[in-house]
């Protein structure tokens, strides 16, 4: 979050409110999102790409109705990947023509709902889906704007590169062996479809632009083949999301304007070389917008020093509110936020309350040796893929999302209750 500081008592404040007040009002654990920071990042992406490009926020990173309204007000579009995300977007008033619908296994019901509501584009992910979407659109008397998602064959070599563009995986249609060209051929023949472009998403938490360079080169190669074969210049190219954020001080993310400049230059250069009109570019950042804008506020519970090893610090949440450490070996930092301390740092591991030894929130951290039950600690950069991947494991209740702005806090997703849990259990 951008508006973080400490008050005269050493208590951390965000958006003009101190964390002790937040914990009293909303309880812990809680995700605290800085609305001004979210809006600033959304605006920075929007501004960096300008009027000739579109920014689709990837809702899978974190979606709620308040977030949809912020995005709408800041002029961003929205990428959804399920009926649930679509319902959230529509219910918060995102105009359907600014929504893109993704997914490798959209149901016929989801496709029907998307088309009936008039979504701006559906991203086709397989040969079967090309036919399915065309058929549904036609039966509704519509012509649906679509992109075809291709896998460009970029290999993932670094661990930052949670790759999705190599060919041996479930997403997209490979460029290899003329498969993507065949998909274009079929899509162009179907009356229910208006093929507007090609889509590529190469992976997540990426710092190095070279993967995008290869992807753009290969996608433009396909656009050129399409022009040569069909005499059609497809007007759009979407390069997906995946730009990395700083989880620890080792990570060095690029600014939106640098990314926009690099991507625009790559596409323009490739198109000039192929003598194509430069298509309208779109991108789909999720993590880069919401990730840094929130932290998770926990209360310290049991503290267990293990001689010669480390001290286990248990918090009142864990893998149910942040699965990323257990799932990806993700690295986070943590800080004591309810007071300052001059005590020596101790090697700590922040763990949750779940019945699983892999229930780790922060694997290696230094916290002051006088840490005590009741202290508040915060884990930054939990805005993306934490609440959206949260579970009820052990029937632990999912935390609320609290937004802070100019000295006020507001619950945007309320804390789950035992009633919520029991409502689903109809046995």
According to CB under 6 A, which residues from 62 to 81 bind ligand LLP?
Answer: 79
**Separation between Cα atoms, residue 310 and residue 426, nearest integer Å:** 44
- Judged by beta carbon, residue 34 or residue 284, the one nearer ligand LLP is 284
Given 13, 28, 64, 204, the residue binding ligand LLP (CB under 6 A): 204
Site for ligand LLP in 101-160 (CB under 6 A): 102
Tell whether residue 286 is a contact of ligand LLP (CB under 6 A): yes
The verdict on 398 binding ligand LLP (CB under 6 A) reads no
**355 is a catalytic site residue:** yes
Size of the site for ligand LLP (CB under 6 A): 22
User: Minimum distance between the CB of residue 368 and ligand LLP, rounded to whole angstroms?
Assistant: 29
Q: Which stretch binds ligand LLP (CB under 6 A): 87-95, 237-245, 266-274, 347-355?
A: 237-245
The answer to whether 98 contacts ligand LLP (rule: CB under 6 A) is no
Q: Please list every residue from 297 through 356 that binds ligand LLP, using CB under 6 A.
A: 324, 328
- Does 242 interact with ligand LLP (rule: CB under 6 A)? yes
Q: Which stretch binds ligand LLP (CB under 6 A): 138-146, 178-186, 200-208, 351-359?
A: 200-208
Q: How far is the CB of 168 from ligand LLP (least distance, A)?
A: 17
Q: Is 58 in the site for ligand LLP (CB under 6 A)?
A: yes
Residue 170 or 185 having the CB closest to ligand LLP: 170
Q: Provide the binding-site residues for ligand LLP, judged by CB under 6 A.
A: 58, 60-61, 79, 102, 162, 201, 204-205, 240-243, 284-288, 324, 328, 384-385
Would you please indicate which residues are annotated as catalytic (active-site) residues?
A: 355
């Amino acid at each position: 979050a951008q508006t973080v500081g400490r008050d005269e008592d050493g208590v951390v404040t965000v958006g003009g409110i101190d964390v002790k007040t937040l914990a009293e009002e909303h309880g812990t654990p809680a995700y605290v999102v800085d609305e001004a920071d979210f809006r600033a990042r959304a605006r920075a992406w929007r501004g960096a790409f300008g009027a000739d490009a579109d920014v689709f926020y990837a809702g899978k990173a974190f979606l709620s109705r308040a977030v949809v309204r912020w995005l709408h007000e800041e002029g961003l579009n929205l990428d959804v990947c399920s009926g649930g995300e679509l319902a959230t977007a529509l219910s918060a008033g995102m105009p359907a023509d600014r929504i893109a619908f993704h997914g490798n296994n959209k149901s016929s019901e989801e496709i029907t709902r998307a088309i009936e509501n008039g979504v701006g584009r559906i991203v086709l992910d397989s040969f079967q889906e090309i036919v399915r979407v065309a058929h549904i659109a036609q039966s509704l008397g519509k012509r649906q704007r679509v992109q075809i998602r291709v896998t460009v064959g970029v290999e993932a070599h670094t661990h930052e590169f949670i790759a999705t563009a190599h060919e041996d995986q479930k997403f997209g249609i490979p460029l290899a062996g003329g498969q993507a060209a065949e998909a274009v051929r079929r899509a162009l023949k179907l009356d229910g479809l208006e093929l507007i472009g090609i889509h590529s998403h190469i992976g997540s938490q990426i710092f190095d632009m070279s993967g995008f360079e290869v992807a753009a080169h290969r996608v433009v190669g396909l656009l050129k083949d399409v022009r040569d074969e069909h005499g059609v210049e497809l007007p759009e190219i979407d390069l997906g999301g995946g730009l990395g954020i700083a989880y620890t001080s080792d990570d060095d993310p690029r600014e939106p304007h640098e990314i926009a400049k690099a991507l625009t230059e790559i596409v323009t250069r490739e198109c000039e070389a192929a003598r194509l009109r430069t298509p309208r570019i779109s991108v789909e950042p999720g993590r880069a917008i919401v990730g840094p804008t929130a932290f998770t506020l926990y209360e310290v519970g049991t503290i267990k020093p293990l001689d010669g090893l480390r001290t286990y610090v248990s918090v009142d949440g864990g893998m149910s509110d942040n699965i990323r450490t257990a799932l990806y070996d993700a690295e986070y930092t943590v800080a004591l936020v309810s007071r300052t301390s001059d005590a020596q740092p101790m090697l700590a591991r922040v763990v949750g309350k779940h019945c699983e030894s892999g229930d780790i929130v922060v694997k290696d951290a230094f916290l002051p040796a006088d840490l005590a039950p009741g202290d508040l600690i915060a884990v930054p950069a939990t805005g993306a893929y934490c609440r959206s991947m949260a579970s009820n494991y052990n029937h632990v209740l999912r935390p609320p999302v609290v937004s802070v702005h100019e000295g006020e806090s507001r619950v945007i997703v309320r804390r789950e209750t035992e009633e919520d849990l029991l409502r689903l259990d109809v046995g």
